[in-house]
C-alpha cells in the first residue's frame, strides 16, 4: 500500500491511498498525525473510497519532513575518496538531524544556495517508524517500521567543513517521498536497488546490501539514546557516486532534474532552482 500526503483543494493537508487510477483521499491532516493512531494500518488498508484526485494534479507535501523528526545515518557505505585516504570504518552508526524546512516534497524545487557552488545529492532509503520505543533489539527493530520512502539528503559540501549540520540543513535543499510504501510490501530492506540520476545520467547505482550498518542496527542504536516515536524518519546513508566524488566534481546546477529511485518504492523527482530565482 502506498500512502501519500498532499495539499487538498482548500490548501490544507490530506492523506490518501495511491491506486493505479489516482489517489483515494482517506482523511484530512498529516501522515504524522495518522501514525499516532494505533489502528492506522487497518484504517488505510480497509479504505474502499473512490479515486478522487489525479496524481498529476496534487501538490505533494514533504512526507513527514516538517512534522516528524528526521535522523540520518552518515558514512554507511564504503566510498572512493579521490582527494585523500578514506575515513576509518565507523564502529557505531554516526548520525545527524535534518531540521524542518530542509526537505521538500515530490515535484517541488530544491534550492541551490547562493553562498556555495557545492550543492550535492544523496539517494537514500528511509524508514518510517510506526511503533516507537527505547532499547530496541536488532532482531526486533524492523517490527517498529511502518513503511519506507525515498530521501534525497541534499548537502552543501563546503559548509560540511563548518559542521555536518551546517552542510546538511540548508533551506529546501533535500527532498522526501513521493509516498510511504507500507512495511508489508518490502520483504527485505537490505536487498533494494538505489539510483540517483541527474538529467537522465545515472550517478549513483548501488544496493542496500552494501550498507555498513543495516537498517535494523541503525534503529536499534538510535533507540539506545533516544525514544523513537511514530512518524520519525530514519535515513540510512548514501552510496558512492555523489557529485563531489567525481573528478572534476559534478555538483548540482539550476535547471537540472534530479531523480532519486529506490526499488519497490518509486521515483522522487525534483528540479534544481537558484536561490535568487525562488519566491
Which CATH number goes with the domain that contains 191? 3.90.850.10
Distance CA 172, CA 274 (A): 11
Q: In terms of Cα–Cα distance, which of 199, 178, 175, 151 is closest to 59?
A: 178
Query: What does DSSP say about strands 70-73 and 233-235: parallel, antiparallel, or unpaired?
Result: parallel
The whole-number average pLDDT for the span 18-28 is 95
Q: What is the pLDDT of residue 140?
A: 98
What is the number of residues in the chain? 279
Residue 54, domain extent: 1-60
Alpha-carbon distance of 36 to 55, in angstroms, equals 26
Residues 6 and 84 in one domain: no
* Tens digits of residue pLDDT in 200-235: 999 999 999 999 999 999 999 999 999 999 999 999
Let me know whether 26 and 157 are in one domain: no
Q: Are residues 147 and 210 in the same domain?
A: yes
SS3 of 81, please?
coil
User: What is the spatial distance between Cα 3 and Cα 25, in angstroms, rounded to a whole number?
Assistant: 10
- 227 and 172 in a common domain: yes
**Rounded to two decimals, what is the model's pTM?**
0.96
Residues 143 and 23 in one domain: no
Q: What is the pLDDT of residues 249-261, one digit of tens each?
A: 999 999 999 999 9
Work out the percent of the chain whose per-residue pLDDT is above 70: 97
In this structure, the answer to whether residues 96 and 193 fall within a common structural domain is yes
pLDDT above 90 (res 63): yes
Whether residues 203 and 193 fall in one domain: yes
Indicate if 94 and 32 belong to the same structural domain.
Answer: no
Residues 88, 49: one domain? no
Both 124 and 26 in a single domain? no
In the chain, the number of structural domains is: 2
Same domain, 89 and 110: yes
Q: Measured between alpha carbons, how far is 253 from 189 in angstroms, rounded to an integer? A: 32
Q: Which of 253, 233, 268 is nearest to 105 (CA)?
A: 268
Amino acid at each position: 500500500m502506498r500512502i501519500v500526503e498532499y495539499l487538498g483543494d482548500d490548501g490544507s493537508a490530506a492523506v490518501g491511498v495511491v491506486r493505479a487510477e489516482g489517489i483515494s483521499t482517506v482523511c484530512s491532516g498529516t501522515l504524522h498525525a495518522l501514525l499516532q493512531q494505533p489502528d492506522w494500518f487497518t484504517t488505510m488498508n480497509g479504505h474502499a473510497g473512490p479515486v478522487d484526485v489525479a496524481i498529476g494534479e496534487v501538490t505533494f507535501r514533504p512526507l513527514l519532513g516538517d512534522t516528524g523528526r528526521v535522523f540520518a545515518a552518515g558514512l554507511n557505505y564504503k566510498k572512493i575518496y579521490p582527494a585523500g585516504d578514506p575515513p576509518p570504518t565507523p564502529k557505531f552508526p554516526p548520525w545527524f538531524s535534518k531540521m524542518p524546512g530542509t526537505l521538500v516534497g515530490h515535484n517541488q524545487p530544491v534550492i541551490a544556495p547562493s553562498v556555495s557552488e557545492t550543492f550535492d545529492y544523496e539517494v537514500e532509503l528511509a524508514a518510517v517508524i510506526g511503533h516507537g520505543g527505547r532499547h530496541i533489539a536488532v532482531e526486533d527493530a524492523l517490527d517498529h517500521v511502518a513503511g519506507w520512502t525515498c530521501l534525497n539528503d541534499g548537502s552543501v559540501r563546503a559548509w560540511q567543513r563548518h559542521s555536518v549540520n551546517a552542510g546538511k540543513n540548508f533551506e529546501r535543499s533535500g527532498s522526501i517521498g513521493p509516498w510511504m510504501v507500507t512495511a508489508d510490501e518490502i520483504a527485505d530492506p537490505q536487498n533494494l536497488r538505489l539510483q540517483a540520476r541527474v538529467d537522465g545520467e545515472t550517478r549513483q547505482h548501488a544496493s542496500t546490501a552494501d550498507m555498513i550498518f543495516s537498517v535494523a542496527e541503525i534503529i536499534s542504536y538510535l533507540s539506545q539514546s533516544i525514544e523513537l516515536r511514530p512518524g520519525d524518519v530514519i535515513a540510512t546513508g548514501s552510496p558512492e557516486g555523489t557529485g563531489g566524488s567525481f573528478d572534476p566534481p559534478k555538483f548540482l546546477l539550476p535547471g537540472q532534474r534530479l531523480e532519486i529511485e529506490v526499488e519497490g518504492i518509486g521515483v522522487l523527482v525534483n528540479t534544481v532552482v537558484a536561490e535568487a530565482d525562488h519566491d
